Structure 1
Amino acid sequence: MITFDRHFFRQFTPLNQLSESNLQDLISKIHIEQAAKDTPLFKRGDNDQRSIYIHRGTVLLLKANGGKDRLVGGTPASRLPLDPHTPRTCTAITEEEVSYFVVDNGYLDLLLSWEQSGESYNVADIEAEEEGDWMGNLLQSQLFQRIPPSNIQLVLTRMEPVNFDAGEVIIHQGDESDYYYYIKAGSCLVTHQAKSGKVIKLAELKAGQGFGEEAMISNNPRNATVTMQQSGSCMRLAKADFEELLKTPTLSAITFAEARQRLAEGGGQLIDVRTESEFSRFNLKGSLNIPIYLLRIRARELDSEQTIITLCDNGKRSASAAFLLNERGFHASYIDGGLIGIKQQLQQQQGK
């Protein structure tokens, strides 16, 4: 008898890229489902944001050109999601009773994005030598060197000081993003609570470090809790001000056509920040795979004189990657909509 535990789900891609805690989180949302013979699982052209994995049974895939494929549960091919395209490129109908499970792509992408962002939480790598010189260290960061002087003045004007006691929670996991924080004095602990209730320590932040930007860039809920370890203070910048003064001037979204033109002219390097397994299934010719969780380490391999274009499946991870590279002095843009957007654009062009 098969036990549907983490060992079972770790057979499937890209679930096998998740940490134990994140995989357990995902498993808590998954139910093994049954479908009778001749049941349609989806139709060609559907835009459902789901990944369907076949555990047992046979599914018939009907292609637009009249061709047919069969996928049988328990085979190597069934370790990948069924027709992982948006919109769907074929119609899937069960040939016999089938056992399967469904993963929400939005939540899976959130876990992958969080997990690959360097110890599962995106922090600005700004080390302050002295707590009292927080403004000088902030102004010397690569990020602030990329924004107009007028924006710098506005950032410093709109930042507000907030004092916190030891043990006080600054941001809660699951909350919507509202502020970007920069630690002026004291230290903070970053933790994540799994569905099992286990609290996992992710990082310790010191004076001179910032946090909270990733959720505002990706428009996802907070993926961790940040608690003040020692009584201290932070400077915080409201989301609207962050987007206006920091995100907009430093983060550039480009279309696939623009990216292709730059690459054709030899003026850029395409970096695919998805996981290795995602990249191996499909990738654009000429792209270099550097998963976002390795980007901090491997950024030194990139040519700072060359424009960097980042890419993922839907644009969320690549936006975070572009912002991370810009913090380090690169000139990075990301392809708006990612591979899903590219495919939709190409299909629209073919339909004209």
Structure 2
Amino acid sequence: MAIDVNSEDGLIIRKLIPLGTWPGARFNALCESITIEEIRGGTLFKKGDMDPRLIYLLSGEVTLQSEGLIIEVIAAESEAARFALAHQIPRKIDAVANGAVRFLRLDADIVNNPTPLVCKEDNSYMVIEEPEDDPNDWMTALLKSPVFQRLPPANLQKILITLEEVCFEKGEIIISQGDVGDYYYLIKSGHCLVSRKPSPNAKDIKLAQLGKGEAFGEDALLSGEPRNVTITALTDMVLLRLDEQHFLSLIREPSLKFIDQERMQEVLMQGAVLLDVRSQDDYKAGHLPGSVNAPFFSLRMQLKTFNREQPVVVVCDNGKISEAAAFLLLRHRFNALILKGGLNVAASKPAAKEVPEPVHETAHFTIDDGVETLINLVDEPHPQNTREPSDQISSLTASGALEDQLGLMKSENEALRRANLQLNDKCLKLEIEKEEALRQYHVLQKQMEKLMQMLDKAKGDQGVA
């Protein structure tokens, strides 16, 4: 029975490794051809089984054991369940269902060696086929990027002609956090480290490593903000750089898609996700109903939670941060759309035609700020045109007190904003530590499997003796 890719099961399967890296068309084809199995108790496979199919746990809990010794208990919602269960053939251990479980059996050859994806060619976009020669060639890796696959051939040719080669030695800083954006960089050879300081006196937080065929530096060019990270060469590096003007005209313009409010409402009704990439404080102060908040700086760490099959409409205050966010989403094969002009432009439009605009109702659409609306501060004109001097003094005193309160609130908001940025950086650091812990876990798991093999062999030798 075919599986709906947008169903709960489809979203779970999409997170399985390596299925999460497949293009949408290939994944959809797989879901049409597979069936979910279910058992209540019993054995999924036994030690010595030769069935080459991979088994992925979708729901429930499975115990991996050998001769009565429990090696591991895997729950469907755990990180370990994203991998196939004890995939070595012949099976080295038993897999026993703890109650009701649902799982998939997938052909190992299809999972590990999927049919190469070939794109059709047209007159508007550069099209790349999966190469049969050197897969590590930097230009091949670059042209496989979703960003460059969307470029017209003429743009791609101009880019390759315009690129300037620059070299950096190991340990040299390529760009510094806080600098003004000037170039977009492509890595021809070598590796570099991406890091960030949450505050001037804080230690660097390591965010990622980049290598051949990857690119960086577009955030500042698109958003107009200073560089938000530092890039340091881990090895001697050869980079190709493109200046801001050529980046904006040759890459940004044909890559990014903008929509107005009317079109936004249409795509949202068709199932698109509305993504607000402003800070949490700005989002709480006012946002569009139904929007999801993912501050741009932490967006990279949340990409795994999004469904590539759903278009994403990106919004921010003025549209500039949305451009950087949409470019990031595009690089990771999402269909990203940008609300043109952002919330500021949208909010400046009248609510209805041929009707005088109310004093405090300037938004074209409702913005949900989660706070009850206060009484209008501008009352109707007082029936008397003059006030007693004592009333004027009282009014001035109240006004001064109000200004003091507003000043205090601004100071508190700024302190909260700084604290929020520090928390975001801590979350990123914890996410990186989590990934490293998972990597070590999988290394230990492989070592455990080898030890079990040695133990089984030793027991077999004793039996022969």
Structure 1 length normalisation: TM-score?
A: 0.55
In the aligned structure 2, how far is the partner of 1:197 from the partner of 1:288?
A: 32
Q: Which has the higher contact order (CA 8 A, sep 6+)?
A: 1
Which residues of structure 2 form unaligned runs of 5+?
Answer: 1-133, 358-465
2:222 to 208, 217, 224: 217
In the aligned structure 1, how far is the partner of 2:166 from the partner of 2:356?
A: 55
Question: Where does 1:234-273 land on structure 2 (aligned, <5 Å)?
Answer: 234-263=239-268, 266=270, 268-273=272-277
The answer to whether the 8 Å contact 1:143/1:328 transfers is no
Render the CA deviation track for 1:102-149: whole Å, top value 9, x for unaligned.
xxxxxxxxxxxxxxxxxxxxxxxxxxxx89610000001111111112
Partner AA of 1:283 in structure 2: H
Render the CA deviation track for 1:1-26: whole Å, top value 9, x for unaligned.
xxxxxxxxxxxxxxxxxxxxxxxxxx
2:366 maps to what in 1? Answer: none
Moved more, 171-180 or 138-147: 171-180
In the aligned structure 2, how far is the partner of 1:186 from the partner of 1:231?
A: 6
1:166 maps to what in 2? Answer: 170
**Highest Rg: 1 or 2?**
2
Q: Relative to structure 1, is the Cα distance of residues 347 and 297 closer, same or farther in structure 2, using a 3 angstrom cutoff? A: same
Partner AA of 1:237 in structure 2: L
In the aligned structure 2, how far is the partner of 1:195 from the partner of 1:301?
A: 30
Render the CA deviation track for 1:195-244: whole Å, top value 9, x for unaligned.
54334133333333211010011011212332222212111111111111
In the aligned structure 2, how far is the partner of 1:287 from the partner of 1:225?
A: 31
1:287 to 281, 284, 291: 291
The answer to whether the 8 Å contact 2:318/2:343 transfers is yes
1:229 maps to what in 2? Answer: 234
Question: Where does 1:269-348 land on structure 2 (aligned, <5 Å)?
Answer: 269-275=273-279, 278-292=282-296, 293-294=298-299, 297-298=302-303, 301-304=306-309, 306-346=310-350
The structure with the greater share of residues assigned to helix is 2
1:207 maps to what in 2? Answer: 212
The structure with the greater share of residues assigned to strand is 1
Q: Give the RMSD, CA atoms, in angstroms.
A: 3.0
Q: Relative to structure 1, is the Cα distance of residues 170 and 131 closer, same or farther in structure 2, using a 3 angstrom cutoff? A: farther
- Corresponding residue SS for 1:175: coil
The answer to whether the 8 Å contact 2:181/2:221 transfers is yes
1:149 to 153, 169, 189: 153
In the aligned structure 1, how far is the partner of 2:150 from the partner of 2:282?
A: 32
- Corresponding residue SS for 1:323: helix
- Corresponding residue SS for 1:309: strand
How many percent of aligned residue pairs carry the same amino acid?
Answer: 37
**Cα displacement (A) at 1:342:** 1.6
**Cα displacement (A) at 1:281:** 4.6
Render the CA deviation track for 1:10-46: whole Å, top value 9, x for unaligned.
xxxxxxxxxxxxxxxxxxxxxxxxxxxxxxxxxxxxx
- Corresponding residue SS for 1:345: coil
Q: Relative to structure 1, is the Cα distance of residues 345 and 212 closer, same or farther in structure 2, using a 3 angstrom cutoff? A: same
In the aligned structure 2, how far is the partner of 1:250 from the partner of 1:290?
A: 22
**Cα displacement (A) at 1:271:** 2.3
In the aligned structure 1, how far is the partner of 2:311 from the partner of 2:343?
A: 19
Render the CA deviation track for 1:31-62: whole Å, top value 9, x for unaligned.
xxxxxxxxxxxxxxxxxxxxxxxxxxxxxxxx
- Corresponding residue SS for 2:287: coil
**Cα displacement (A) at 1:317:** 2.8
In the aligned structure 2, how far is the partner of 1:237 from the partner of 1:188?
A: 18
Moved more, 143-152 or 222-231: 222-231
In the aligned structure 2, how far is the partner of 1:170 from the partner of 1:288?
A: 34
In the aligned structure 1, how far is the partner of 2:188 from the partner of 2:135?
A: 6
Which residues of structure 1 form unaligned runs of 5+?
Answer: 1-129
Q: Relative to structure 1, is the Cα distance of residues 288 and 171 closer, same or farther in structure 2, using a 3 angstrom cutoff? A: closer
Structure 2 length normalisation: TM-score?
A: 0.43
In the aligned structure 1, how far is the partner of 2:313 from the partner of 2:350?
A: 19
